[in-house]
Amino acid sequence: MACFLLAAVFGAGGQYLYKSGAEQAAGGLLSYLTSWRLLCGAVCYVAVMALFVIGFKQGGQMNVLYPLYASTFIWGALIARFAFGTPITVVNMAGMVLLVGGMFLMGKQ
């Protein structure tokens, strides 16, 4: 479970790096390929996949672990709030509460 929660944080970090890297890139293919932020975002997603493999290798079940990865959306919203000033609305908060409730229910045996 810890691997998938860490993967969720890496996934949200990758989203942040993709967005900030896209904003800084000039728009040509070369600017995308040479952006350190976009490269680090890709590294984050490779780390996510590695953590998935480790989690499954340790005997994790898909129906328990994948709902934990859904917390990526919560981490992403928090990063967007602090990095870009994106507001978190009441509707966003309701969605987060539903995500956590869904993760809890999916993880129940």
- pLDDT band for 109, please (50, 70, 90 cuts): low
Indicate the pTM of the whole model: 0.81
Q: Where are the domains of the chain?
A: 2-107
b/e per residue, 10-40, with b = 16+ CB within 10 A?
Answer: bbbbbbbbbbbbeeebeeeeeeeeebebbeb
pLDDT in tens, 42-51: 999 999 999 9
pLDDT in tens, 76-103: 999 999 999 999 999 999 999 998 898 8
